[in-house]
Every structure is written in structure tokens, then in C-alpha cells.
Amino acid sequence: MASKATSDKLDRARVDRFTRTVMRDNAAVFFGAMTYLGSRLEIFESMAGQGPMTAARLAERSGVNERYLREWLGAMVAAGYVELDEKTGEYHLPGEHAMVLADRDSPLYMAGLLRMTVPLMKMVPQLEEVFRSGGGIATADYPAEFFEARDMESRPRYMYHLVRKWLPQMPLIHERLQKGCRVIDIGCGGGYALISMASAYPSSKFTGSDLHDLSIEKARSNAAEAGLAELLEFAIADGVPDELGKFDLVTTFDVVHDSPDPDALLRSIREGLTEGGIYLMVELNASSRVEDNISDWGKMLYSLSTMFCMTTSLADGGAGIGALMGEDTARELAYQAGFRSFEKLPLDDEYFAFYQLKA
């Protein structure tokens, strides 16, 4: 506790500002549980496109208890997610909010992010232990619900932005895909990037690999649902498996920073490329310098990295690079692995950076 002499020297306005910051951040933590419930219980979906309705009517539509729902609605109104008509007592989810919270086919759908919060918070007791002892938390220790949420979060990004926005701005890669080439996506997760590319570039052949067996199982299921089961090949593997031969294009989407051994991963990728082949590395758009990441984006990424990306890498005795590895680290890893060229592609994207590497 600060002495009176010390407290007399404090900037009271700064103390007040920081108090409000702490309150705001903790309000967001508690509110995250409410948005998680709104998504899991499909309350947002029950409100979408329905116009204003009473809490009683919404309880009937959503199948949840009205008393809990009214308290939940209070949180939603306070946060600006839901509108309240003070005269009628009716609640309304604006269409602009519904496309983010309730429309699975919207390119801006963010339910996956909402559903990550609670599964990750379940890991905090284990995280406290490794904070004290070092080491990390194994990927296998995380609940299946977390990977389902990650899969849900990645779907809009790859089903919409990848082939409609990103790849057409990469002339060399776009042309090769159109003409037909062999492609492998490493760390493919639920396979949405592959499904999207296979649909857009039917002349190319696509393979996905991932160390996480549940992700490969989900990828196969997603491919079958999309009617592409016969066109997509999946393997439980790290890097480019030797038995699959060489590829004209290798992709990783938000993967390298998670790798226990990024140097070995990139060497495997380089060795798995055909002559003149290309490696597309997509990573989070952040800097390796803390002072360059002072923002809500940086705050979220450092937190997610601590709770998953960094600790799972350390659990395998890995480098523990963390989510915010930045262009400098990516370039260093590329040249260490023997790539002869590294280019940051000039795509204007707030959240992701795109690097084109050649062996």
C-alpha cells in the first residue's frame, strides 16, 4: 500500500483514467460470458430478422428461461448489442448486428470468436501452474469446444475473403491456381481454405495436413458436406509428408507462430516444393515489437497467444514464438530455412499479413 507521502505525489487524473480502464476491461471479460451464451443458446439467431419483441416472446422463441433472458438482455442493451424501445419494452437486434452475430453465411460472422472465450477460460488454472513452473499446456488438453470455435471463426475468412479478395491480388499464385497445380495446406484445421480454393480453382489438386486428428476428422466432414470429399486429400502430419511428393504451392494460414519447431517446419516446406514452387505464409498482421502493438488488437492477440499459441508450442519443447511474430521474425525464419526470396505482398488487410517465399 502506498504511503501518504507517495500518494500525495500521484497524478489523480491518471489514477481515475486507469480505474476506468480496469473497469472497462473487466466488464468486457464478464460480458464475454454473456455473448458466449447468446451464441451457444442461439438467442441471437432467435432475434435475427424478427423485429422488436418482448422478453416473454423471445423466451418462447429461444426456449430459454425468461428471468435469465431479461437479465441477459439488460447486458446486451447496456453494451449496445441490442436496442430497447422504452415505450413498448420491446427488444430488437438490428440487421447490421445480426449479420455479425447470427448469420452463418455472412462474411462478417463472428460467433466463433464469441465461443472461444469460455473454453479458453477453463484453461486458466493450468495456465497458472505453467506460469510458475515453466513449460506449457499440450494441445490435447484443450476442450474440443475450443477447436470447434476456432473452426467456426475461420470459416468466413476462408470461404469469402480468401478466394474473393486475397488470392486475386496475388497475380503469380492466382495464375498458377487457375492453370492447375498441386497444392498442400499445412495446419489445415477444418479445411475451409482448401474447400474454398478447390471450389474456385477446379484445375488444381489440393491436399491438407494437420497434426491435430480432430481437425482432420472435421476437415473430412466439412469436405463431404461441400461435396468435395473425392477431390480433397487429408493427412495427419506435420509439414510436407515425404510420401506425398512435391507441391507447386504450399500454404500456411496462421500456423507458423504456433509451431513447436518453426525452423524444421519451414525446411520441410522448402524441401517439399517443386522447382520454381511458391510458399504462401499468412500470419497475423502484427509487429514483433511490443511498442508497435499498443491497441485492442494487440491486447487480444497477446492474451490469446499466452492462453494458447505460445503455451502449446512450449509444451512440445518448442520455440514459443507467440502469435505476434511479425514480419522481421518471419523473414529471419525464412532465410534460416534456406528460402532464397521473401516478399511481403501489398495486400491491404487490417488483420493478416501475406508473405510469398521461393526456394
Tally Cβ neighbours within 10 Å of residue 210.
Answer: 24
Mean pLDDT of 192-209: 97
| Domain CATH for 232 | 3.40.50.150
Residues 143 and 276 in one domain: yes
Domain count, the chain: 2
3-state secondary structure of 89: coil
pLDDT digits (tens, 9 = 90+) for 259-272: 999 999 999 999 99
Question: Domain range holding 224?
Answer: 117-358
- Alpha-carbon dihedral angle through residues 62, 66, 69, 71, given to the nearest 10 degrees: 170
**pLDDT value at 345 more than 60:** yes
On whether residue 110 sits in a domain, the answer given is no
Q: Residue for cell digits 478447390?
A: 198
Residues 304 and 179 in one domain: yes
Q: Residue for cell digits 512440445?
A: 316
* Sign (positive or negative) of CA dihedral 163, 167, 173, 175: positive
Confidence of residue 210 (pLDDT cuts 50, 70, 90): very high
Residues 97 and 159 in one domain: no
On whether residue 63 sits in a domain, the answer given is yes
DSSP conformation letters of 267-336: HHHHHTEEEEEEEEEEEES--SSGGG--SHHHHHHHHHIIIIIHHHHHHTT-----S--HHHHHHHHHHH
On whether residue 190 sits in a domain, the answer given is yes
How far is the C-alpha of 262 from the C-alpha of 284, rounded, in Å?
Answer: 15
pLDDT digits (tens, 9 = 90+) for 34-83: 999 999 999 999 999 999 999 999 999 999 999 999 999 999 999 999 99
Share of the chain above pLDDT 90, in %: 92
Tell me the sheet residues that pair with 91: 53, 84
